[in-house]
Amino acid sequence: MGFLDSLKAKLAPAKDKVSDQVSGLAEKHGGKVEHGLEKAARKVDEKTKGKYSDKIESGTGKAKHAIDRLAHKDVGPSGPPPPPAA
């Protein structure tokens, strides 16, 4: 096992723990974050007089999607993962 493989193996538990914490925060506070994104998007759109509305809307949608993915990290593009084979 090389140095990088060894390092990855040692860091895996910490990565999983951080991932679980981020997921929990996104799930718990996702609504507040999305509300803040919407509010910021409206303000930026207002300040730019609608010049970048399509880009603001696109970016806001992508950010909301990312928050949703973090909150539901066990759900893939086609739904939850299949149960393990028996």
Does residue 8 sit within a domain? no
Q: Is residue 36 part of a domain?
A: yes
Written in H, E and C, the secondary structure of the chain is: CCHHHHHHHHHHHHHHHHHHHHHHHHHHHHHHHHHHHHHHHHHHHHHCCCCCHHHHHHHHHHHHHHHHHHHCCCCECCECCCCCCC
Give residue 31's domain range.
20-71
Higher-scoring residue by pLDDT: 43, 6 = 43
Q: What is the pLDDT of residue 50?
A: 94
Residue 10 lies in a domain: no
Highest mean pLDDT among 9-13, 23-27, 40-44: 40-44
Where is pLDDT greater, at 36 or 13?
36
For 46, phi then psi, to 5°, come to -65, -45
Residue 7 domain-assigned? no
Residue 63 counted as domain residue: yes
Q: Is the pLDDT of residue 76 over 70?
A: no
Q: Is residue 61 part of a domain?
A: yes
Quote the number of domains for the chain.
Answer: 1
Model pLDDT for residues 31-53, shown as the tens digit of each residue:
787 888 899 999 999 999 999 99
